[in-house]
Structure 1
């Protein structure tokens, strides 16, 4: 145990003292936010603003098709129709001319067949769909008017139905749509974080093993320690690196959220009428309060416990596989044929867990969260919805037992493979190493 502790300490300090680790740890959240902002600005910069001149022969659409910041309707007289069409080509101030024919005998089908949009350049699909939607809305209201239905009656027909859901399994607690959305969001976040950390730091273990093997440093190290102790030290050391980085990111996220919330409140207070106008338009405070209330209703001690246990066991389980792969090959190119065995089960668990939002207690969710190869991500995805205690205990027991077995198997491969040079390990040879 003393040797494992020393190797763990060395591996941890070696990693965290690197400039790349410090820079990545501090800048990664900022870079992620900046990336999102850049993507948002790109979409904003590519937004189109179209000017459509409308010739309304029916007189039905004028003042009913409302302009927006992206689409501006300019109604022109019928007398100017021919000249407008003639001068459309090369006209930079107008993107198109919408011709709406005369409505005869309330024949809306004939109006639709005769209507046309003449453009001088390509317009976006969204712009065309908006024009069609605006025309459809006007025609719909006109048809309703002809049927003698008042607008108040129509609005009453369009009212949605809100169904209150009471969960007797949770002491008759009301399950709101927002609460379900919060659970789904938390589920996807925890699952994705676990998946990414296992992949990223599992590969780091593999590369560390491969680097020491190629540098022949391992020959000196194992003269003082056993191969199994070296492997476990590396795995635990990188585990502590992952947890350190994870804790730093969580701390930065919490501080950032508090600062942004305080800053937004200060800005809102300093704007004349901001408290009333912005609150009525954005309802930020109300939404934040509802989300916070939904989060506080969750069993966070259990969620945190399950997340930590499955994160650590899942990481050690897959890191053992990656360590075995790193010791069995001579270069990073050869790792591709073996890493597939580690990535596929995780991907199966992650993508299978996406369907859990519709039925978290279904057979797929149950088996994905019980089978050790997929349970590190599937159980974490299920836990915000609530999981019976016996299923959590069974899953932990199976994952713990499988992890111990995988460490044993990986130790067998590591013991022989770490000293093999120049020979490409085959599945047959690896099986011999495990049996011996």
Structure 2
């Protein structure tokens, strides 16, 4: 169990190094610094077996939060409660002595986490196997690449039987095979009841392995809840430019529009999506398709302002929020013409549902050419793909399979 109650972290920022001494010795108590709150009023609880994802832009307070949770930094206000052994993998280079070999660093880290030398030596073969860095285990850590360092550090952290695991961007520098092993190990840790906090800029990873997520902005929790909803909120903040509606926007309100419901909606509303619909080849509204059946996604938009080069896009996700396929009119070389105030545009995407049988969602968007959103509707539609055969994954590649006996010469 990991709990944080009203956590805040204050730094006093001085314009010049000597200002700290001047302020300390000043008779008139003149303030020469300004306050910077890296964290402000953070409350969270992560239960055994739960994986919490932490997302946010650079400088939002993610790394500071992890350092407070692990006890490296003391909070200015509030307190942290940790139950059991805590293992942490924070910024690259922390925790290992660069002059010692990987093996020596593993032994030292194991002892620092409370294991006896006998226990850590018994675990060492499993650590070596998972890290898979070969003979470099006996070389100085300073000779390691960033990927080799993360392999060994993560392998050490998960093999010391932690009750709490705190990780900062562990998969950012790993290759595909190592990333796949890490994801499987995160799932095993969940089943074992390990409390995990993961910071990552990989939103797909957060949606895949986390039970819950928080979005940090300016040191405060901006949103928390399911990984899919929180990542949608974060993407909305990134893609939506600030804009104040004017009286002219009100006059150009969408005529005869029907409210379109989505899990999260954002954009500057210079153009608005008024309708999203899925049709089958017969032209009927449809929410269930056979594998390989042609689907037609229709997106209707209304323009409140002149837009010389808008683009319309679509995104298909699984039920747990994993991106499956996304494209837009720009990528498909089907650009829209310049749109005037009051224009209604209908855009249609036709695609074959070569997907495995399960439920999917559709996200629709109209955007600036640079990707900023006019109107973005997350998970505005849900549809299912059905079939008698049920292959693994999300794509049905419909392979042609042949087998034959081959003759071999006896030795």
Specify the TM-score bucket, using the shorter chain as the normaliser. Answer: under 0.3
Largest Rg, 1 or 2 = 1
- Where is the strand percentage greater, Structure 1 or Structure 2? 2
Q: Which has the higher contact order (CA 8 A, sep 6+)?
A: 1
